[in-house]
Amino acid sequence: MRQTWSYLLRHDPLPVLLSLHLFFVFGIPAKTLTTFNVVSFGAHPFGEYDSTHAFLAAWSQACRSPHPASIYVPPGEFRLGHVRFRGQCRNNDISITIDGKLVPSNDFQSIDDEYWLLFEFVDGVSIHGGVLDGRGARLWDCKNFGGTCPQGATTLGFSKSKNIEIKGLTSVNSQFFHIVFNGCRKVRVKDVKVMAPENSPNTDGIHVQFSSDVTILHSEIRTGDDCVSIGPGTSDLRIEHVACGPGHGISIGSLAREMDEPGVERVTVKAVNMTGTQNGVRIKSWGRPSNGFVRRIVFQNILMLGVQNPIIIDQNYCPDNINCPRQASGVKIKDVKYKMIKGTSATQVAVKFDCSSKHPCNSLRVEDVNLTLHEEEAEAQALCKNAAGTSSSWVRPQSCF
């Protein structure tokens, strides 16, 4: 009897019939979700051995699945070398849930690549949870003491991918940038935490370039370089409810790195707090020819606390005067709105529009700005060069147009 039952169970035709039934009745295939646990592919949750191959094997199964698939990383500490998760996949719904922590397999020298974890040519990938610890401290020491050091790897990158979601992820102590989106479409980042010390060089929080339709919401980014940096070819980027600082603030640029460069347009930064950052909201371009542009930008409802350059456009960037002395930036900046920006500046110049002599900034709109100096004995100032625009209820510093 028992044997008959187990025989029946093993050969139960019901699920197949049910799927077919659902398919024929509703015209949709019944969804099956297969979960691949990295440990069952040989990953070591106590960091005993390198788990790179196990992660790649789990990815390859998930990617090959014709149905939605999920990858699970249980609690523990997993050592990984450079991992490249490549598409295209047979499905467009792979979710990766991480309850553990990922660390580089050795020290920074061992990841001989631009990226530590790279997703490439993927469509429909989400990452939930997890801690990525780049263990960059030894590399920063090398850089801070002026040694000859490798660049270091970006912790997490997405390249030429679309429909990406990252939620509840924590990235700490990256060697180079924390998270990069390059050539991506439809990206949703939410509840992410980025942390690295103030003196860690090049540890940008999130870098976006050649990408469109990207949102970064409800996140906290405390690091040694830009909070969010926005490179050429970015459009429809929305940053909301983000806390930045320490770090270098939110920056569009540096642009005009190349002569032929796509522009940046439709970027909105809203409800952001900058605490003790070097810049607040910045647009920056090299002082040299380029056919790039920046337009339709909104910075709104931003609280500055002891920020060195709360509002700044710098089109004369030319470090060490190499490759650009006495040249004017070709980047055309127009239609930038600054609205409801309040708080304190750590330096006298709270607003600085230092635009290109060849292509002055135009249609800058400043509305409801009130920035005071940290110490009250002097008034903050606004400086404008080659900049035109309008202002209303601009209280402090005194408007320069």
Between residue 274 and residue 333, which ones bind ligand NAG under the rule CB under 6 A?
A: 303
- Measure the CA–CA gap between 357 and 385, rounded to whole angstroms: 8
CB of 351 to ligand NAG, least distance (A): 14
Residue 156 or 350 with smaller CB distance to ligand NAG: 350
Torsions phi, psi for 202 (to 5 deg): 60, 20
Torsions phi, psi for 318 (to 5 deg): -160, 75
Strand 332-345 relative to strand 361-373: parallel, antiparallel, unpaired?
Answer: parallel
- Measure the CA–CA gap between 241 and 301, rounded to whole angstroms: 10
CB of 241 to ligand NAG, least distance (A): 4
CB of 230 to ligand NAG, least distance (A): 18
In this chain, which of 18, 379, 395, 398 binds ligand NAG, going by CB under 6 A? 395
Torsions phi, psi for 22 (to 5 deg): -60, -40
Q: Does 340 bind ligand NAG (CB under 6 A)?
A: no
Q: CB under 6 A: which stretch of 4-12, 191-199, 222-230, 237-245 binds ligand NAG?
A: 237-245
Burial class for 378, CB neighbours closer than 10 Å (0-12, 13-18, 19+)? exposed
CB of 271 to ligand NAG, least distance (A): 6
HSE of 394 in the Cβ direction (CA atoms, 13 Å)?
A: 21
Q: CB under 6 A: which stretch of 14-22, 44-52, 122-130, 238-246 binds ligand NAG?
A: 238-246
- Measure the CA–CA gap between 308 and 346, rounded to whole angstroms: 5
Q: CB under 6 A: which stretch of 68-76, 194-202, 239-247, 256-264 binds ligand NAG?
A: 239-247
Q: CB under 6 A: which stretch of 65-73, 139-147, 161-169, 241-249 binds ligand NAG?
A: 241-249
CB of 233 to ligand NAG, least distance (A): 27
Q: Does 241 bind ligand NAG (CB under 6 A)?
A: yes
User: Has 248 been annotated as catalytic?
Assistant: yes
Q: CB under 6 A: which stretch of 77-85, 146-154, 235-243, 329-337 binds ligand NAG?
A: 235-243
Contact status, residue 53 vs residue 78, Cβ threshold 8 Å: no
Residue 111 or 216 with smaller CB distance to ligand NAG: 216
Contact status, residue 89 vs residue 64, Cβ threshold 8 Å: yes
Q: Does 159 bind ligand NAG (CB under 6 A)?
A: no
Q: What is the largest CA-CA distance in the chain?
A: 93
Q: What is the DSSP letter of 141?
A: H
Residue 182 or 372 with smaller CB distance to ligand NAG: 372
Q: Which of 21, 53, 128, 248 is catalytic?
A: 248
In this chain, which of 175, 229, 251, 372 binds ligand NAG, going by CB under 6 A? 372
In this chain, which of 370, 385, 388, 399 binds ligand NAG, going by CB under 6 A? 370
With CB under 6 A as the rule, give the number of residues binding ligand NAG. Answer: 9
Strand 228-230 relative to strand 293-307: parallel, antiparallel, unpaired?
Answer: unpaired
- Measure the CA–CA gap between 15 and 64, rounded to whole angstroms: 22
CB of 254 to ligand NAG, least distance (A): 26
Site string for ligand NAG, 254-273 (x = CB under 6 A): -----------------x-x
Q: Is the Cα torsion angle 89, 90, 95, 99 positive or negative in sign? A: negative
CB of 106 to ligand NAG, least distance (A): 36
Using only the alpha carbons of the chain, give its radius of gyration.
25
What is the token pair recorded at 42? Answer: 């040989």
Number of helical (H) and strand (E) elements in the chain, helices listed first: 4, 28
H/E run at residue 303: strand 293-307
Q: Is the Cα torsion angle 139, 145, 150, 155 positive or negative in sign? A: positive
In this chain, which of 56, 57, 217, 243 binds ligand NAG, going by CB under 6 A? 243
What is the token pair recorded at 215? Answer: 């949102």
CB of 129 to ligand NAG, least distance (A): 21
Task: Using CB under 6 A, list all residues that contact ligand NAG.
Answer: 241-243, 271, 273, 303, 370, 372, 395
Q: Which residues are marked as active site?
A: 248
